[in-house]
Amino acid sequence: MWREQVSQISKMREKRNRELNLPANENELSEFRKSVVEKFGEEVLPQEYYEFLQRVSGIEFNGLKIYGIDQKFESAFSEALS
């Protein structure tokens, strides 16, 4: 379901000469997974979220905001869980 929606959003943004965020790379995903497990003691995020990040690292569209992986987010995530 989310894949189709991301595809539709991508098409709409292309019409306005705007692109989606780049996907998270393997190193970013690996580090993010590790930090989640360290903070919670287990894997708590759904696999689909990681799949989403492999497609696009965050998206903001028409009031919808799904966070991706970036330095600011990782820092805020770590601080919030400390």
Q: What is the 3-state secondary structure (H, E, C) of 39-81?
A: HHCCCCCCHHHHHHHHHCCCEEECCEEECCCCHHHHHHHHHHH
Q: How is residue 38 written in tokens?
A: 């360290």
Q: How many domains does the chain have?
A: 1
**Average pLDDT of the chain to the nearest whole number:** 88
Residue-number span of the structural domain to which 54 is assigned: 2-81
pLDDT tens-digit readout, 13-53: 999 999 999 999 999 999 999 989 998 999 999 999 999 99
1 vs 82, higher pLDDT: 1
